[in-house]
Structure formats: C-alpha cells, structure tokens
C-alpha cells in the first residue's frame, strides 16, 4: 500500500497550510466540513495549470507548488477576499516522492503565509495537471467586481507589468533571467493585502493574468464603458520602457498584479496606500464612455497593440 493513492494524499497533503478553527474536518473523509463565519460572503475561484501549456514539465516542483496556489489566490485578491480554504486535484504520470515533497513544500509555505488551509484533495494518475479551488471570506455584499467601473474613474495597477513575460521570453531564448525577474514568472506574489484594502475604495478590480489589455477589457465590457491608457505611465522594467515595444506589459500575461478603478477624488490616497503596502501603485489611465481600450503615447498618438492577450486555445 506504500504508494497507494490514499497514502499519497495522507503523506503530502493532509496538513498543508494554515490551521483554522473554521475547519471542522479536513482532508480524509468523503468531504471536508467547514463553518463559515456569520455575516460573511464566500468568494470562490478555480484555476488549472497543465504541463506543456502553462508550465514546463521540468520546472522546479517547489516553484510550481507556489505558483499554482498563487494564481488562485490572485483571484481572491481581485475580489478583496481573505483566503480561507483550498482544495487540490493533482494528476501525476507516476509517483515521484522528491517531486511531491517539493511541490507540497512550495504550496504549503505560501498557504501558510496566506492563512489558507488545504481541506480537500484528490490524486489521480494522468498527464501532469494541477487544478486548485480556493475560497475566501468577504464582509457581506462588499466583494469587488469587474462591473463596477464608472466614467472618469482612474485606472491603476500594482507592481510592474511585463516582468513575467520578459523572463519567459529570455528563457525561451536560452538566456538565464536575473533571479528577481525569474521569480516574477515562477513565484508571483498574490496581492491579497491590496485587494482587502481596496474594499469600499475601488469601483472595480481584476487580476492581470491574461495581460493588461485583455483584463482591463473585461472591466470595460462588464461595466459598459471604455478605457484610455497612457502608455508611458505603465510601470515596467527599464529595458521594456527603453525598447518602445509595449507588447509585453500590455499583453504578456502572468503578471498577477491587480488592475483597479478608483473614483478620481480618491487618487490622493494612492501614495499613502502604496507606502503602507510597500507596493507601487500607478495611475495609468481613465475610464470613459464608449467601448474598448485605447492606448495613447505621450505625444498624443494612438498606439496599435500587436497581440490581445493570452488565449489557451490559440497558441
């Protein structure tokens, strides 16, 4: 029975993440039993990462364990939710204890930091694929949505855009990215604190997983409005700024920063919030009447983007 499915789950995944008093029963029965606190809504998200599509099959398993939880936590951050519970469905071609140990370590470390408990797991034999579902808590009725943007809102982003895509580009060229840049691709930091601070402040919020243009486009469509970006205001690496090629910050994807819209009168709060969080927060444009996302250069000309984000069915 050493390598059986049951032992696998028990050995690596039964006690990962935070210990929480609202988990009445964790991994190991037909279901986990959870007690949601009164007066709170749940935010729920699910994301799958498939080897060869979302990551290289030989990626460091510890980084992979971190990243596949991080991309899910990033969705909670975008709603302003506080992480609570996660479940993990893992398909593996074979049992590899060193790999499982690394994966569980990466997953577990981030889960503990984020205060989320792993409460459900399923391990099956199959092509390497990881599907995670996370749930977070929100004061009732407070969740940040894509649909709340209003005309004249300021569009803001956290952190830097295009770093992950630049690191991936360098790896694909056979180059070794700087460690800090590589970490932006392999160990993204979900902006959980920022999301929670935006509750009651931002009108709309989304996380940037598919690229700024695609994700800001979701806010515009859901809100029935348009956006205009000032390209030179985009926070990105000096080599990207210098190149004049905006494709990576606009469409590279995998950034896991937050893009949010603020009523203009709240703009003055940005520097203080950025300082408290130790995270750059940059105003990059405005919400307008109309539809679509326009990109304007400093000289006033419109810029025509080359790609429009990442689509899993259009490689």
- Chain positions 64 to 123 lying near a second copy, rule: CB under 8 A, are 75-76, 78-79, 81, 85, 87-89, 91, 95, 119-123
Stretch that binds a second copy, among 22-30, 149-157, 165-173, 270-278 (CB under 8 A): 22-30
Does the protein bind a second copy through residue 257 (CB under 8 A)?
Answer: no
Among 19, 56, 126, 292, binds a second copy (CB under 8 A): 126
Among 11, 20, 44, 307, binds a second copy (CB under 8 A): 44
Does the protein bind a second copy through residue 46 (CB under 8 A)?
Answer: yes
CA trace torsion 193, 280, 176, 58 (10° rounding): 20
> Strand pairing partners for 260?
156, 205
Stretch that binds a second copy, among 45-53, 159-167, 230-238, 270-278 (CB under 8 A): 45-53
Nearest CB to a second copy, comparing residues 54 and 182 = 54
* Tokens matching residue 146: 């894509």
Nearest CB to a second copy, comparing residues 1 and 289 = 1
Interface with a second copy in residues 133-162 (CB under 8 A): 133, 136, 138, 140-141, 143, 145-147
Among 14, 19, 36, 269, binds a second copy (CB under 8 A): 36
Among 12, 17, 18, 45, binds a second copy (CB under 8 A): 45
Helix (H) or strand (E) holding 72: helix 61-79
Cβ neighbours, 10 Å, residue 142 = 14
Question: What distance in Å separates the CA atoms of residue 114 and residue 62, rounded to the nearest whole number?
Answer: 16
Question: What distance in Å separates the CA atoms of residue 287 and residue 285, rounded to the nearest whole number?
Answer: 7
Closest distance to a second copy from the beta carbon of 143 (Å): 5
Does the protein bind a second copy through residue 281 (CB under 8 A)?
Answer: no
Applying CB under 8 A, what is the total number of residues that bind a second copy? 71
C-beta of residue 221 within 8 angstroms of C-beta of residue 291:
yes
Among 10, 11, 50, 197, binds a second copy (CB under 8 A): 50
Closest distance to a second copy from the beta carbon of 50 (Å): 3
C-beta of residue 277 within 8 angstroms of C-beta of residue 197:
yes
Residues 6+ away with beta carbon under 8 Å from 183:
none
Nearest CB to a second copy, comparing residues 67 and 146 = 146
Residues 6+ away with beta carbon under 8 Å from 6:
none
Phi-psi region of 265 (alpha: psi -120 to 50; beta: other; left: phi over 0): alpha
Give the three-class secondary structure for 108.
helix
Closest distance to a second copy from the beta carbon of 4 (Å): 5
Does the protein bind a second copy through residue 199 (CB under 8 A)?
Answer: no
Give the three-class secondary structure for 231.
helix
């Amino acid at each position: 029975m050493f390598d059986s499915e049951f032992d696998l789950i028990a050995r690596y995944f039964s006690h990962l993440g935070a210990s929480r008093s609202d988990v009445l029963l964790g991994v190991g029965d037909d279901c986990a039993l959870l007690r949601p606190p009164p007066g709170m809504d749940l935010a729920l998200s699910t994301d799958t990462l498939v080897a060869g599509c979302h990551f290289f099959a030989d990626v460091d398993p510890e980084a992979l364990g971190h990243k596949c939880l991080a991309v899910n936590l990033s969705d909670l951050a975008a709603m302003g939710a506080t992480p609570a519970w996660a479940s993990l469905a893992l398909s593996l071609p074979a049992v590899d204890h060193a790999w499982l140990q690394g994966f569980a370590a990466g997953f577990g470390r981030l889960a503990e930091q984020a205060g989320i408990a792993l409460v459900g797991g399923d391990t099956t034999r199959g092509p390497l694929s990881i599907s995670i579902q996370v749930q977070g808590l929100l004061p009732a009725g407070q969740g940040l949505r894509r649909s709340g943007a209003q005309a004249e809102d300021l569009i803001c982003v956290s952190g830097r855009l295009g770093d992950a895509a630049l690191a991936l580009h360098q790896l694909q060229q056979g180059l070794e990215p700087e460690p800090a840049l590589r970490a932006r691709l392999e160990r993204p930091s979900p902006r959980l604190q920022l999301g929670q601070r935006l509750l009651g402040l931002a009108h709309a919020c989304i996380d940037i997983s598919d690229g700024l243009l695609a994700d800001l486009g979701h806010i515009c469509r859901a809100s029935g409005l348009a956006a205009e970006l000032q390209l030179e205001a985009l926070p990105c690496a000096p080599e990207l700024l210098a190149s004049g090629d905006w494709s990576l910050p606009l469409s590279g994807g995998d950034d896991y920063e937050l893009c949010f819209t603020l009523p203009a009168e709240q703009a003055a709060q940005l520097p203080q919030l950025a300082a408290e969080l130790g995270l750059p927060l940059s105003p990059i444009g405005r919400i307008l009447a109309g539809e679509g996302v326009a990109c304007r250069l400093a000289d006033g000309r419109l810029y025509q983007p080359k790609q429009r984000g990442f689509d899993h069915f259009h490689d």
